[in-house]
């Protein structure tokens, strides 16, 4: 008789503990603490000399981008592409001069998926893109260069 009571107390004690743990985890999911979309960092990184002054990814797949540059040269941006593919596609032609230490608004750039389609997303969803830029160094003989940066952003209205 005593063995049965001991086993029952053991099961009840651990049963209540497991029930409390399940309830706590459910509450954390419900309030969004454990939502993967809230955990994914929103970042914009470019190679040294270039930076994201500001950016916004619209739900229609356009990226509003303002780039700062501190390469030590005056540069002319000649093209930009935003894609999830490994290689740049759908280049947008630019003709924007940026002096050293300043930034410039590049406008709305269409971001594409790996298949080349416009990257449309729902508000709040997160996507990662690679942004390719072609530029020339104006005060060093017009050397042509290409850089790529990564942007992870949430779609906004």
pTM comes to: 0.74
Domain borders along the chain are 2-34, 39-156
pLDDT at site 38: 66
Q: Is the dihedral of CA 96, 83, 42, 107 positive or negative?
A: positive
- Walk along the chain (157 residues) and give the pLDDT tens digit of each residue: 567 788 888 888 899 999 999 999 999 888 877 776 666 788 999 999 999 999 999 999 999 999 999 999 999 999 999 999 999 988 999 999 999 999 999 989 999 999 989 999 888 888 999 999 999 999 878 889 999 999 999 998 8
Q: Report DSSP state, residue 140.
A: G
Q: Which H or E element spans position 146?
A: strand 143-156
* Domain 39-156: assigned CATH number: 2.60.40.1940
Q: How far apart, in whole angstroms, are the C-alpha atoms of residue 114 and residue 3?
A: 64
pLDDT at site 1: 58
């Amino acid at each position: 008789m005593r063995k049965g009571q001991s086993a029952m107390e053991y099961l009840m004690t651990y049963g209540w503990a497991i029930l409390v743990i399940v309830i706590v985890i459910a509450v954390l999911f419900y309030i969004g603490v454990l939502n993967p979309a809230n955990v994914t960092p929103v970042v914009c990184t470019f190679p040294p000399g270039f930076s994201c002054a500001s950016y916004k990814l619209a739900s229609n797949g356009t990226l509003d981008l303002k780039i700062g540059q501190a390469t030590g040269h005056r540069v002319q941006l000649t093209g930009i592409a935003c894609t999830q593919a490994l290689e740049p596609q759908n280049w947008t032609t630019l003709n924007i001069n940026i002096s050293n230490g300043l930034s410039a608004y590049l406008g709305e750039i269409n971001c594409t998926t790996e298949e080349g389609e416009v990257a449309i997303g729902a508000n709040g969803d997160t996507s990662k893109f690679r942004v390719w830029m072609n530029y020339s160094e104006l005060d060093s003989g017009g050397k042509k260069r290409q850089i790529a940066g990564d942007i992870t952003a949430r779609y906004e209205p």
